[in-house]
Chain A
């Protein structure tokens, strides 16, 4: 009984432990969280809005079909209050050329290595490759530019070239594709593969008839995301592809790209309005790709 009385006593001393202060702090945290979250969302609205307002009026047919004007023409147009003539077609073709060639290298190799890692799961060597892939993914793009300069610009093409640009971009894509391939394949039900193996299907057919088809959505997401990452890359191309005032489809020649053109316009006060149009175009493209890939990923996770 003594124990019971003791407890009764302690219960009656209900410490009023600063309830008001605690409730106030609790509400305060919510307010702070909402405030900071809103602040986080704010820049993207500002950036997109800014580009839309400043960039839209330069986007016309010429924007997609002509090369940029020389700085004198641009200055004349600017001083007479007209829009700058010309466009960024050399950048667009350059981006297509380099991103296309980079994909041509990175996608097959990335998928092959991804499949290899998926097959080897816990092997020591595979783990090592996985870790190195992670390291590669974290290498700053400017360093990749430096490397490609040493490897390709100096040694192979003896000058700035689209090939060098493509290779730097493909080195950036590769880790992304490897990891997304492995992650996607991990989600394939093992029974699916076992069934094919049990039927005596040759291994390369298992890859092409089972592994790749049943992870197509995930592979697509990975590819689109990695493309959207490299579309806007500028730094490595400055060191490798340099830029070109004309349209160029040769891998051995210097080539422009949309971000390279933006950089060029940025350094030329007469081209200011082209900066915003090109950025608007680039960003619209990148963000759309991003959203599409998210859409594919979401669809797959629902299934």
Chain B
């Protein structure tokens, strides 16, 4: 064998690592989750009862699925106007201006803040504020977590949509201006329709981020094993229940946590694949 072939062979073998990791991940999660699914069947997903007390152990994941979806949707809802405005600020209103560079740098920095630091800030600054406003007695819960999550995902929602908005051809905007449109009308009738799928994809990817965020949510959601009752109710997300209960878990409880990990893996993979699919279709256009 010549050296060329050897090099190519080495590179190819390296690429197998990715498949091994991904395949192994799915395999190990399924195997680890088997006892829980064997024991509870489909009830594992639809039961609202999670009780680790020795003797009458019972595990249902619905409260955490609900908690994850509630917090993530809330985060998306809050992040949407912020991210959309920021993209317009950077890519349209103040394009290429110094102030736009400053704002993008701030947003980049936001992406660099570790999850645990967000959690601390949420705990020591945001939570007391929410208590003071009288929104909830302890300040923990869906709302506080959703708000922090929103801040955390803004950079993800912003960066791609900014790029896409920048790419809307100038000639289309000028065509609309020449017909008498105001800037607002150009934004909503030309920029948004032309950048639509990219903007949507960036929000989907941001949502995917929110689903799996762990530390900040763990510190703020209140950690109760029930379906959150309302905006200020406490709960747990799939990620936070794993972080919280993993250390003491064994046996059926551990298997149930792994099963939740499997569900979380599946949901985020689907959401991400969907977002990436839209982006790829966009790139092919």
* Chains A and B touch each other in the complex, with CB atoms below 8 Å apart: yes
CB distance from B69 to the nearest CB of A (A): 14
Give the interface residue-count category, chain A.
35 or more
**CB-nearest residue of chain A relative to B180?**
A17
Q: Which of A129, A140, A151 contacts B213 (CB 8 A)?
A: A140
CB-based contact B109/A290 at 8 Å: yes
* Shortest Cβ gap from B30 to chain A (Å): 11
Chain B's closest residue to A41 (CB) is B106
Which residue of A has the minimal Cβ distance to B219?
A266
**A44:B113 contact, CB within 8 angstroms:** yes
Interface presence of B208 (CB below 8 A): yes
Residue of B3, B8, B103, B269 near A37 (CB, 8 A) is: B103
Annotate A258-301 by CB proximity to B: 1 below 8 A, 0 otherwise. Answer: 01001100100000000110010011001101110010000000
Minimum distance in angstroms from A127 CB to a CB of chain B: 10
Tell me whether B246 and A239 are in contact (CB under 8 A). Answer: yes
Known: A26-B183, A46-B125, A147-B28. A115 touches B11 (CB 8 A): yes
Given contacts A39-B82, A140-B211, A232-B113, 13 further A-B contacts (CB under 8 A): A22-B185, A23-B182, A37-B86, A44-B113, A47-B118, A119-B11, A125-B15, A135-B273, A142-B214, A203-B3, A203-B7, A234-B116, A283-B112
Binding site for B on A (CB under 8 A): 22-23, 25-26, 28-30, 32-37, 39-41, 43-48, 50-51, 109, 112-113, 115-117, 119, 125-126, 129, 131-143, 146-147, 149-151, 171, 174, 178, 202-204, 207, 228, 231-235, 238-239, 259, 262-263, 266, 275-276, 279, 282-283, 286-287, 289-291, 294
Q: Main secondary structure on chain A at its contact with chain B? A: helix
Q: What are 20 inter-chain pairs, A to B, with CB distance below 8 A?
A: A26-B183, A32-B85, A33-B85, A36-B81, A36-B84, A43-B110, A109-B17, A113-B18, A138-B205, A138-B269, A138-B271, A140-B212, A140-B213, A147-B28, A171-B21, A228-B112, A232-B113, A234-B116, A266-B120, A290-B111
B32: nearest residue on chain A (CB-CB)? Answer: A150
The answer to the question of B46 belonging to the interface, with a C-beta cut-off of 8 Å to chain A, is no
Are B117 and A283 in contact, CB atoms less than 8 angstroms apart? yes
Q: Which of B120, B205, B243, B264 is A275 in contact with, Cβ under 8 Å?
A: B120
B265 close to A (CB within 8 Å): yes
The answer to whether A139 touches B212 (Cβ under 8 A) is yes
- Is B39 an interface residue when CB atoms closer than 8 A count as contact? no
Q: Is B29 an interface residue (CB 8 A)?
A: yes
| Contacts from B to A (Cβ < 8 Å) | 3-4, 6-8, 10-12, 14-15, 17-19, 21-22, 24-25, 28-29, 32, 81-86, 88-89, 93, 103, 105-121, 123-125, 151, 154, 158, 182-185, 187, 205, 208, 211-215, 219, 239, 242-243, 246-247, 257-258, 261, 264-265, 268-269, 271-273, 276
Cα-based distance from A234 to B185 in the complex (angstroms): 45
**Which B residues are CB-close (under 8 A) to A23?**
182
A150 to B255 CA separation, bound complex (whole angstroms): 11
Complex Cα–Cα for A207 and B93 (A):
44
**Are A235 and B82 touching (Cβ within 8 A)?**
no
Tell me whether B3 and A33 are in contact (CB under 8 A).
Answer: no
- In the complex, are the beta carbons of A142 and B242 less than 8 A apart? yes
Separation of A50 and B121 alpha carbons in the complex (Å): 8
The answer to whether B4 touches A202 (Cβ under 8 A) is yes
The answer on a CB contact under 8 Å between A112 and B4 is no
- Rounded to whole Å, the gap between the CB of B245 and the closest CB of chain A is 11
Chain A residue numbers with a CB within 8 Å of B269 are 135, 138-139
Neighbouring B residues of A294 by C-beta, 8 Å: 105, 108
Docked Cα-Cα span, A263 to B242, in Å, equals 15
Contact across chains for A47 and B113 when beta carbons are under 8 A apart: yes
Which residue on chain A has the smallest CB distance to residue B158? A40
Give the Cβ gap from A106 to chain B, nearest Cβ, in Å.
10
Q: How far is the CA of A149 from the CA of B15 in the complex (A)?
A: 23
Q: Are A113 and B8 in contact (CB under 8 A)?
A: no
Partner of B24, one of A37, A119, A151, A174: A151
- Nearest A residue to B155, CB-CB: A40
Chain B residues with CB under 8 A of A174: 17-18, 21
Q: Specify which chain B residues have a CB less than 8 angstroms from the CB of A232 in the assembled complex.
A: 113-117
Option from B18, B184, B205 in Cβ contact (under 8 Å) with A136: B18
